[in-house]
């Protein structure tokens, strides 16, 4: 396929990279497309010796990179953004091919990388500190920010390139160097990004190690989380994984930036614009086949319009096109692998055992005979991991509703009054994204107040998915508390230093302390 060749993806790609060079001696593992289960290419897993080599090269690059003025670092990131523009279609197609999201979403993910590069370029001239007045005469106080060093990034399969860029491009303009472990389910996306960045590094005669990559599974990630040479670990994934990362990194007094699970809800008030609410719900629930951390998993609907909303959703779900994500007109591609399909089936079975009801969909679809797939769908989809998105009736306190199932399952939950709706929205252990559809100003302001949503993201009349890069992204409670992307999230990648300068001839002490020495 031309897009693979254009990105430097050949039959065998070494999965360890320091800047311009790929290398590897470890065992190989295969990348498969969830479209039909076929092998794309083989990747070499990073060995322990290679890991240490990557860290050595990154540490050598750090003193050079941090001494480059921040606006000059921003210029390098600007060039990376331009190189991504050249490869947007090819990289977007690879994201779709290796991960399974539809091509339009693959393009959107690469555009998000480009946008964060633009954001980081401006940020490179805005790494502001503060000045403050000293209580002592002829003293000046201020604070400034310094780079941390090596930043380790562990990313998840569902956004194989965008979330990496949130961290890497901002860390880079802050003066840090980056070591990235992409998900072992989508390693070729990582290889492709490294190839794109390598062109910029080489053109600017920059040292290896500013942007490095390691590849493999849990063991490789654990090397980095245990490594005192890595002061910050930014990890995206499950709550279970995040708790392990937090414990290991905390034990060595390192920093963790965690973006973990979501169990996101939309509240639909009886005075909502229903067509807007329904459209946002459908995108949030079935976009990326329900494999976003911001996917809409719970729909909390006023009892007066509950049946109307349920029936409207079913009528739309009946028409949703499921199939090859690279084909035009497809709205829902495959789940990432067979395990994800099995997890969805287990969740639906548990729901029914707890007293809930599946009112539409939920079944696996066979690519070999086209059941449930668009008319005329290719038999080449055999081996893909397709499901029909599910609509369910549930109660919020069901054990399965309290968990995040990474699949297109939407739980409909009725409510009577606003306090009940907000309590239901907040009544889960995750706290990432939330939304409310209402034309009532008082209800909207209540939802956004300290009495309302307890999530890191709270929206009015837009859904839970599709965050812009300008705002800080992240959540509370077991979502981890991290913030990435926009606003002042750059501070996570730097260390704060307070400075006091005495430019007088005396040595007064703070708080008026007298300490005379003859």
Active site residues: 259, 293
Query: How many C-beta atoms lie closer than 10 Å to residue 53's C-beta?
Result: 17
Nearest Cα to 3, choosing from 108, 107, 118, 159? 107
**Matching residue, tokens 């300068």:** 501
Report the DSSP beta bridge partners of residue 390: 409
CB 41, CB 14: distance < 8 Å: no
Distance, in Å, from the CA atom of 24 to the CA atom of 170, rounded to the nearest integer, reads: 28
Distance, in Å, from the CA atom of 364 to the CA atom of 383, rounded to the nearest integer, reads: 12
For residue 496, give the H/E element and its range. Answer: strand 494-502
Distance, in Å, from the CA atom of 406 to the CA atom of 148, rounded to the nearest integer, reads: 34
Give ∠ CA 352-262-232 in degrees, rounded to 5: 145
Query: What are the structure tokens assigned to 442, written together?
Result: 């008082």
Q: Kindly give, in sequence order, each residue whose CB lies less than 8 Å from that of residue 123, ignoring residues fewer than 6 positions away.
A: 74, 170, 173, 490
Q: Kindly give, in sequence order, each residue whose CB lies less than 8 Å from that of residue 38, ignoring residues fewer than 6 positions away.
A: 32, 383
Nearest 10 degrees: CA dihedral of 200, 201, 204, 206? 170
Of the chain, the end-to-end C-alpha distance in Å amounts to 82
CB 466, CB 283: distance < 8 Å: yes
CB 345, CB 370: distance < 8 Å: no
Please provide residue 118's backbone torsions phi and psi, each rounded to the nearest 5 degrees.
Answer: -60, -45
Report the DSSP beta bridge partners of residue 414: 301
What DSSP string runs through 153-185? Answer: EE--SSSTTHHHHHHHHHHHHTT-EEEEE--TT
Count Cα neighbours of 152 within 13 Å in the Cβ-side half-sphere: 28
CB 280, CB 249: distance < 8 Å: no
């Amino acid at each position: 396929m031309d897009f693979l060749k254009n990105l430097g993806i050949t039959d065998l790609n070494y999965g360890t990279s320091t800047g311009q060079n790929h290398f590897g001696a470890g065992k190989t593992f295969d990348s498969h497309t969830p479209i039909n289960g076929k092998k794309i290419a083989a990747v070499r897993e990073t060995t322990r010796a290679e890991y240490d080599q990557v860290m050595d090269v990154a540490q050598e690059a750090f003193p050079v990179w941090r001494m480059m003025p921040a606006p000059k670092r921003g210029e390098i990131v600007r060039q990376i953004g331009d190189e991504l523009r050249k490869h947007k279609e090819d990289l977007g197609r690879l994201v779709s091919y290796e991960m399974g999201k539809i091509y339009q979403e693959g393009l959107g993910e690469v555009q998000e990388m480009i946008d964060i590069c633009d954001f980081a370029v401006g940020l490179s001239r805005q790494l502001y500190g503060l000045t403050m007045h000293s209580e002592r005469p002829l003293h000046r106080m201020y604070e400034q920010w310094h780079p941390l060093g090596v930043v380790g990034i562990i990313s998840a399969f569902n956004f194989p390139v965008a979330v990496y860029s949130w961290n890497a491009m901002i860390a880079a303009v802050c003066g840090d160097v980056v070591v990235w472990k992409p998900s072992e389910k989508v390693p070729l996306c990582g290889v492709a990004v490294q190839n794109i960045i390598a062109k910029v590094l080489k053109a600017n005669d920059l040292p290896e190690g500013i942007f490095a990559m390691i590849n493999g599974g849990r063991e490789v990630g654990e090397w980095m989380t245990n490594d005192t040479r890595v002061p910050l670990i930014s990890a995206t994934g499950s709550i279970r994984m995040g708790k392990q990362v937090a414990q290991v990194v905390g034990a060595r007094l390192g920093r963790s930036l965690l973006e973990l699970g979501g169990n996101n809800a939309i509240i639909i008030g009886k005075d909502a614009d229903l067509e807007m609410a329904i459209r946002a719900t459908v995108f949030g629930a079935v976009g990326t086949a329900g494999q976003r951390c911001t996917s809409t998993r719970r729909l909390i609907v006023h009892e007066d319009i509950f049946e109307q909303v349920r029936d409207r959703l079913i009528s739309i779900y009946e028409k949703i096109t499921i199939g090859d994500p690279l084909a035009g007109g497809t709205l829902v591609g495959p789940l990432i692998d067979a395990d994800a399909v099995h997890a969805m089936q287990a969740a639906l079975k548990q729901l029914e055992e707890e007293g809930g009801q599946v009112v539409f969909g939920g079944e696996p679809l066979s690519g070999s005979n086209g059941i449930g797939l668009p008319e005329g769908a290719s038999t080449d989809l055999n081996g893909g991991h397709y499901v029909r998105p599910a609509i369910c009736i549930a109660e919020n306190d069901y054990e399965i509703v309290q968990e995040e199932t990474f699949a297109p399952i939407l739980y409909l939950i009725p409510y009577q009054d606003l306090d009940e709706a907000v309590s239901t929205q907040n009544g889960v252990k995750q706290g990432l994204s939330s939304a409310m559809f209402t034309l009532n100003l008082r209800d909207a302001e209540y939802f956004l107040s300290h009495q309302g949503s307890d999530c890191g993201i709270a929206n009015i009349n837009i859904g839970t998915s599709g965050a812009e890069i300008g705002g800080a992204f992240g959540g509370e409670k077991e979502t981890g508390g991290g913030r990435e992307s926009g606003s002042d999230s750059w501070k996570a990648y730097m260390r704060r230093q307070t400075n006091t300068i005495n430019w007088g001839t005396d040595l007064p002490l703070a708080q008026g302390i007298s300490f005379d020495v003859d």
